Structure 1
Amino acid sequence: MSTFSHIRGLGFHVPEKLYTNADLEKFVDTNDEWITTRTGIRQRHIVENETCLDLAHAASVKALAAAGMEAGELTHIIVATFTGDMPVPTTSCLLMERLGIRNRVAMDLSAACSGFVYALEVARALINLDPSSKILICGAEVLTSRVNWEDRSTCVLFGDGAGAAVLSAGQEGEPGRVIDTILSADGGPAMNLTIKGAGSAYPYKLGDTVGEENFVQMQGREIYKHAVRSMTAISNEILERNSFTTEDVDVLLPHQANLRIIEAVGKKLDVPREKVFVNVDMFGNTSAASIPIALADARESGFIKDGDLVLLATFGGGLTWGSSLIQF
């Protein structure tokens, strides 16, 4: 018999420093109108003296508080990121230490922008395996560490931040139940979105200069097409598998990558615009942090209400994508 997994608390944290589109105009060959009309982004939060760990810790503390849980009760910590403080040790191990606990399961998960939804399914599997599990999952990114500020087609898109959720087992009727998750990936078109530098296929030696391969490189049109098609298809799949239609969805919460993608997915799914949550204008694309930031933001603001059926849809490098259904 399956065990039900429930989100007990949500939290998010973004750096204090803001880069508005007007700020970017000062050192990037772009302007507010160009950015806003193509992406819907008006500002993004940028780290100054914070690291990925700092962001993850702040979001996790808020999620634990919302769950009414102490860090010592956790059995697992999963951090979804590709911009951790360092390759080794993992950000999850550092987060465990920062939270003041030891001897738990800690792992980082890399699925780019889909990382949080991937982590959500891992947590659900672990809870099904051991219903006593209490799991912290966090999507945290310092994307500005991997942004080429001379590439105006990408640098305007990204921001820094973290979002976290605490999950545990529960009864079917309890709020926050993760009804289902479907994940997918395709390595065929993977090279349309890359950060090649620092990988073993692109080794470097002491004294090498930093090249463009160390930063985000993206074929925007191709990614747009893959994102819209994949997010729409997997959302329809999860709804059909659970005997729902889009009319049953109270909130569509897509990955906050680009307003055009968000609107296209909503239109193809035939979800009314007023049911689609959008905060990309305030935070930009925060990759693995995007979905949990949006979830926590939507819940805090009252956009997601008690009893709402929430459909998550995400897409990221890899290429990876996924969808989840959550009953709040």
Structure 2
Amino acid sequence: MSRAAVLSGVGSCLPFRAVPNDELAADLGSSEEWIRSRTGIGQRYFADRGTATSDLAAGAGEKALKCAGVSTVDVVLVATTTPDRPCPATAPVVAARLGMRGTAAYDVSAVCTGFVYGLATAAGLISARVADRVLLIGAETFSTLLNPRDRSTAVIFGDGAGAVVLRSGDPAEPGALGPFDLGSDGEGEDLITVPAGGSRQRLSGTEPASDDRYFAMSGKEVFRHAVQRMTGSARAVLVRAGWQAQQVDHLVSHQANLRITNHVADDLGIARGRCVSNIAEVGNTAAASIPLALDHAHADGTLRPGGRTLLTAFGGGLTWGSAVLTWPDLDQV
């Protein structure tokens, strides 16, 4: 019998420190109004010293496990661009923190598409009977990569984590994930990047410029690619699912920029009122953005059982991906 990955729990974790636009605007020669009008962001959260990606990931994972009513899983996946260390992976640390020493655990690296890639990976593990339950966490401390002098990135990103528990189940039941659509184009690797720190720079024989240690993004090109790729991927997955755009109750896109979300919705023919968005409160949290949005929308009642839900993301690599599910009846934690 075929098995599907079924969503059975959600959770999230944000740092304590909220950073409103006003706190950043003066140092960047900007204004609260400019930041909000260009991005849709009103505030974001930055981790304090001593808080790492694994801390936020463990917090979100604990809540997702509680929502699902379980204490252990067979595999722990962490989608992140900001691991605690370049080596080892962060997922085994998170698994141990959650009391699952000995459990298979590894990281997924696809920048802002990491969570959707992780969903597909988890679904494959469950379909292949490698695992009956998977904990997937998107977690970031993107503030550690930001150049405080770069207005194009410093106001956009924030820190946080979101998590889901997936269990084996019937492909026809609520919460079952799929189909998926995934893609990449490595020729766009320099559009979203941290130039220094990897093998290419280290083996170049030259010391990196100070700014090369920070995250860099070609804003206009990224905007164009994000709209194009998420729209195309979402259309592909809707065709595979046999859904019409008008049948989608909720579009949950990567929370990159409110204008990008609106463009994607408009191009797909989905009313903007059906877009799930929390970017005004948390900013762009990269791989954490979709699971954070899912948990917040579940908590406030936006996502209701039976709602047809479309997920789509775009990130560095370049990478993109989409998936669909019918929202299940989950406990409130």
Query: What range is the shorter-chain TM-score in?
Result: over 0.9
How far the C-alpha of 1:307 sits from its partner, in A, is: 0.3
2:247 aligns with: 248
Aligned pairs (5 A) from 1:65-214: 65-71=66-72, 74-130=73-129, 132-203=131-202, 211-214=210-213
Contact 1:92 1:107 in 2 (8 A): yes
Q: Give unmatched runs, 5+ long, in structure 2.
A: 328-333
Aligned pairs (5 A) from 1:226-241: 226-241=225-240
- Tell me the percent identity: 39
Query: Per the alignment, do residues 161 and 204 of structure 1 end up closer, same or farther by CA in structure 2, a change over 3 Å counting?
Result: farther
SS in 2 for 1:64: helix
Do structure 1's residue 216 and structure 2's residue 215 form an aligned pair?
yes
**Which deviations, in whole Å up to 9, do the C-alpha atoms of 1:227-284 show, x marking residues without a partner?**
0001001111111112111011010111100011000000001101111111111111
SS in 2 for 1:310: strand
CA distance in 2, matches of 1:34, 1:25: 9
**Which deviations, in whole Å up to 9, do the C-alpha atoms of 1:159-194 show, x marking residues without a partner?**
000000111111244331113111110011221111
1:307 aligns with: 306
How far the C-alpha of 1:144 sits from its partner, in A, is: 0.3
CA distance in 2, matches of 1:111, 1:25: 30
CA distance in 1, matches of 2:273, 2:191: 32
Contact 1:131 1:168 in 2 (8 A): no
CA distance in 2, matches of 1:33, 1:179: 40
Contact 2:2 2:170 in 1 (8 A): no
Contact 1:131 1:169 in 2 (8 A): no
How many residues are paired up?
Answer: 324
Query: Per the alignment, do residues 210 and 19 of structure 1 end up closer, same or farther by CA in structure 2, a change over 3 Å counting?
Result: farther
2:3 aligns with: 3
How far the C-alpha of 1:157 sits from its partner, in A, is: 0.4
1:41 aligns with: 41
Contact 2:2 2:171 in 1 (8 A): no
Query: Per the alignment, do residues 204 and 44 of structure 1 end up closer, same or farther by CA in structure 2, a change over 3 Å counting?
Result: farther
CA distance in 1, matches of 2:173, 2:300: 21
How far the C-alpha of 1:28 sits from its partner, in A, is: 2.1
2:330 aligns with: none
TM-score by length of 1: 0.96
How far the C-alpha of 1:27 sits from its partner, in A, is: 2.3
**Which deviations, in whole Å up to 9, do the C-alpha atoms of 1:57-108 show, x marking residues without a partner?**
000000000000013xx11011001101101221101111111222221111
Contact 1:247 1:271 in 2 (8 A): yes
CA distance in 2, matches of 1:188, 1:132: 34
Contact 1:45 1:159 in 2 (8 A): yes
Do structure 1's residue 264 and structure 2's residue 263 form an aligned pair?
yes
How far the C-alpha of 1:131 sits from its partner, in A, is: 6.7
Report the AA paired with residue 194 of structure 1: T
CA distance in 1, matches of 2:222, 2:171: 37
2:60 aligns with: 59
RMSD of aligned Cα (Å) = 1.5
Contact 1:198 1:204 in 2 (8 A): no
CA distance in 2, matches of 1:258, 1:46: 18
Contact 2:75 2:131 in 1 (8 A): no
CA distance in 2, matches of 1:24, 1:306: 39
How far the C-alpha of 1:44 sits from its partner, in A, is: 0.2
How far the C-alpha of 1:25 sits from its partner, in A, is: 2.1
Q: Give unmatched runs, 5+ long, in structure 1.
A: none
